[in-house]
Structure 1
C-alpha cells in the first residue's frame, strides 16, 4: 500500500466511524420518539421504521451504476448530505407526513453510503490489505454505534421532545462531518484495481446481466441473504420476542445482551483477524455457521430448558455474544470477497447488489422471525439452527467456485504462479495470473 492510499484509507475510516457514532444516537430510540415523544402512535412508528428500511430498497438498484460512472466520492457526499437533511427534518417532525418523508430521506441517504464507502475502501486498498481494511471499518462502526447509543441514552428524556431533537441534530452533524472528511480525500489509483476507476464519462462495461451470470457472485448473494436473515434480521425482532416471551427475561436485559454482542466484536475483532486472514474464506464462513447454530441451541436452552431465570438470562446474553464472535469472523471475509469477485468496471454495482441483498434480508427477517419468536418457540429455534447450518453448506459450495487467491488472499504474497480465475458467466478457468 502506498502512503497516499494509506492516508486516504485513514480518512475514510474516520468518517465512517463518526457517521456510525451519529446513527447510534438515534436508531435505538426511533420507535419511542415517533410513538411516544411525538405521540403519533405505534402504528405510525411502525410505518416510519418500515419506510426507513424500504427506502434503501428503492435507491440501491440505481446506486451501483452511479458509483461506477461517477466514482464513489461524489455519491458518498450527496448521500451524506441527504442523510443530514433527513435527520434534521425528522428531529423537528411532529406530524405523520413529515415523519414518514423524513425517514425516507434519512433511510435512502444512509443506504447509499454503504456501497459508496465499501467501494472507496476497495480503491484505497490492495488485495493483500483489503481484509484488514474491512475488518477495521467493521470494528470502528460497531464502536461508534455502541458509544453513540450509550451517550444518546444519557441525553434522552421522553418528557422533553427537545432532547430528541438534539440527538437528531448531532446525527446530522456527524453526516456533515463525513461529507467534509470525504471531500478532503484524494482518491488514489490503486495498482491492483487500476481498471476499476472509470475514465471520465465512461460507462461500465456491463450491468445486471453480467452480475447474474457470475455464478460465484450469485452464490455469495444467496449466502449473504441467509447470513443477514438468520442473524441481523433477528436481533431486534424474533430473538428479542423469543427472549422476553419464551425465556422470560426482562426487556432491559436485551440492552445488556446487545452490549455483550458489541463488546465481543470490539474485543475479539483483531484477535480473530490474525486467525482468519491466512485461512480459506469459505471455511471461515462455514465455521461461523456452526458457531451460530450453537448460539441458537443456547437460546433454545434459555427458553425451553426449564432452568432457573438466572441461567436463562445468562444463556440469552451468551447467545448474543456468540453472534458477535461470528460477526467478527465475517467482517474480514464477506465484504472483501464481494470486491475481489467484481470485474474492474463494476465494483460499485457488486457492492450495491450485495447491500440490496442485505436490506432484503433485514426486511424479511423481522417479518418472519417476529411472529415465530413470540409464539412458535420450538419451531423458531429449530428453523434458525437449520438456517445456520445452511450457512456452512452454502459457504463450502461457494468455495468450489472461487479462485485460490479469492478464497485465500494471503496467497497474493506468494511468488507468481498460474491460478484459477473466477469470471462472470463461467466456472473458474485456469489462466496465467501474476500474483505479487
Structure 2
C-alpha cells in the first residue's frame, strides 16, 4: 500500500494554501459589495434585496447537512471542489440578475456553497495532516484566509472608488474567478492515501450517518457549547459599527480600522500562537479564548462611560486587541477539537453537525444583536460576555467525555515509524 512520504507534504500543503488564498481573495472582494451590488445594478430597494438574501441564507442553512454525506462517501476534496464551483457559478451569474427571483437564485447558489465551506475544508485538513501538524496547517490556513480576505476587501475598495457599473461587475466576476482557480487547485491536488483502518464510507454501516451523530451526546454538547462562542465572531461586524457611531459618537471610519487591526494581527500571529498551544489541551485553550472574549466585551461596555477624546480610541483599540487574543486562542483550536473528536469514517457528518453551531449563530446574530442594541448597548456586551463564559464552562465540563486524541495534541509519527505501522496493519 502506498504511504504518505515526507517530501510530498510541503508541496501538497503549499498547493492547498495557495487554493485557500485564492478563495479568500475572491470572498474578500465581495465583502464590501454584499447587498450594495444588487441595489446598484438592479435598482431594487435594500429591503427587497434583504428579503431575497435572507431567504437564500436560510436555504443554504437548510441544505448544509448534505455536505456531510458527500464528504463521507466521496471524500472531503469532492465536497470542497463542489462548494467552490457552486459559489463560483453563483458569483458569475450575478451580472445576469435583474429580478427578485434571479437575485434569490444566484444568492442561494452562493449561500449553499458558503455553508458547506467550513465542514468540508475542516475535513480536508484532517485528511491532509495528523496530530500537531493538523493544528499547524489549520493555523496557517486561518492566517492566510484573514490576509487574503483583507487583501480582497482592500482591492474591492479601490475598484469601487470608481462608482460605476463595470466596477461592481468586475468585483463579483473577480470573486467567481478566485473561487474557480481555488477549485482547480484543489481538484488537481494529490491527496495522501487513507490509513488501512479508515474505510471509504461508500456504504455507511447500519445505524450510522446522522443517527450516530445524534446519539453521540458528548459531541452534541461540544456543538451546543460552541454556539455562544460562535456568536462572538459577528460582534465586530454587527455590533461594533452601531456601538461606535451611535452610542460612543465616534468616527464612522473607526469600525473599519478596528476590523483591519483585528485581521492584520490574526494574520501575523495565528501560526505563532498555535505553535505555543501544542502542549495545552484543546478544550482548555478554547475555553481560555472564551474568557478573553468576555474580558474584551466588558472593556467595550466600559467605554460607554469614557466620553470622547483620544482615550476613547485608545480604549477601542485595546478592547479590539483583547478580542483578537480570544480569537487567536479559540479559532483554530475549536476547529481542530471538533475534527479530532469525530470518527474518521463519519467525519463529514460530524463536522456538518458541529458547524451548524456557526451557521445558526451567524444567522441569528443580526436580529438578536440589533434587538439588544435597541434596549441598551452595555446590555448587549454583558449578554455576550455571560454567554461566552457559559460556553467556556460547558467546554470544560465536556472535556472528560471526549476522545483523548481530541483533547490533547499529539505529534505526528515520523515517516519511518508510520510506514512500519501501516505495514504491520496490512
Q: Normalised by the size of structure 2, how large is the TM-score?
A: 0.90
* Partner Cα distance (1:152, 1:197) in 2: 44
| Residue equivalent to 2:401 | 401
The Cα of 1:93 is off from its aligned counterpart by: 2.3
The Cα of 1:155 is off from its aligned counterpart by: 0.3
* Partner Cα distance (2:320, 2:48) in 1: 29
| Residue equivalent to 1:431 | none
- Cα distance change on mapping 1:210 and 1:402 into 2, 3 Å: same
Say which SS state the counterpart of residue 251 (structure 1) adopts: coil
- Cα distance change on mapping 1:76 and 1:145 into 2, 3 Å: same
- Cα distance change on mapping 1:366 and 1:110 into 2, 3 Å: same
Conservation of the 8 A alpha-carbon contact between 2:143 and 2:267? yes
The Cα of 1:110 is off from its aligned counterpart by: 2.2
The Cα of 1:367 is off from its aligned counterpart by: 1.3
The Cα of 1:157 is off from its aligned counterpart by: 4.0
Mean Cα displacement is larger for which, 2-11 or 101-110? 2-11
| Residue equivalent to 1:249 | 250
Cα-Cα RMSD:
2.3
| Residue equivalent to 1:283 | 284
- Cα distance change on mapping 1:374 and 1:256 into 2, 3 Å: farther
* Partner Cα distance (1:212, 1:219) in 2: 10
The Cα of 1:204 is off from its aligned counterpart by: 5.3
* Partner Cα distance (2:326, 2:56) in 1: 27
| Residue equivalent to 1:428 | none
**What are the ranges of 5 or more consecutive residues in structure 2 without an aligned counterpart?**
415-426
The Cα of 1:260 is off from its aligned counterpart by: 0.8
1:50 matches 2:54: yes
Residues 114-148 of structure 1, C-alpha deviations (whole Å, 9 max, x = no match):
32222111111112311111111111111110110
Say which SS state the counterpart of residue 332 (structure 2) adopts: coil
- Cα distance change on mapping 1:133 and 1:411 into 2, 3 Å: closer
* 1:129-208 equivalent positions in 2, closer than 5 A: 129-157=133-161, 159-191=163-195, 194-198=196-200, 201-203=202-204, 206-208=208-210
Conservation of the 8 A alpha-carbon contact between 2:143 and 2:268? no
- Cα distance change on mapping 1:86 and 1:267 into 2, 3 Å: same
- Cα distance change on mapping 1:197 and 1:334 into 2, 3 Å: farther
Mean Cα displacement is larger for which, 309-318 or 364-373? 309-318
- Cα distance change on mapping 1:254 and 1:52 into 2, 3 Å: farther
* 1:83-162 equivalent positions in 2, closer than 5 A: 83-157=87-161, 159-162=163-166
The Cα of 1:294 is off from its aligned counterpart by: 1.1
Say which SS state the counterpart of residue 409 (structure 1) adopts: coil
| Residue equivalent to 2:422 | none
Conservation of the 8 A alpha-carbon contact between 2:55 and 2:104? yes
Say which SS state the counterpart of residue 237 (structure 2) adopts: coil
Mean Cα displacement is larger for which, 217-226 or 33-42? 33-42
Conservation of the 8 A alpha-carbon contact between 2:142 and 2:267? no
Residues 241-290 of structure 1, C-alpha deviations (whole Å, 9 max, x = no match):
22222122222211101101101201221221122121111111121112
Conservation of the 8 A alpha-carbon contact between 1:22 and 1:148? yes
Choose from 4, 7, 18 the match for 2:11. Answer: 7
* Partner Cα distance (1:217, 1:157) in 2: 47
- Cα distance change on mapping 1:298 and 1:306 into 2, 3 Å: same
The Cα of 1:392 is off from its aligned counterpart by: 2.3
* Partner Cα distance (1:95, 1:321) in 2: 43
**What are the ranges of 5 or more consecutive residues in structure 1 without an aligned counterpart?**
415-436
1:273 matches 2:274: yes
The Cα of 1:43 is off from its aligned counterpart by: 0.2
* Partner Cα distance (1:240, 1:388) in 2: 21
Q: Normalised by the size of structure 1, how large is the TM-score?
A: 0.88
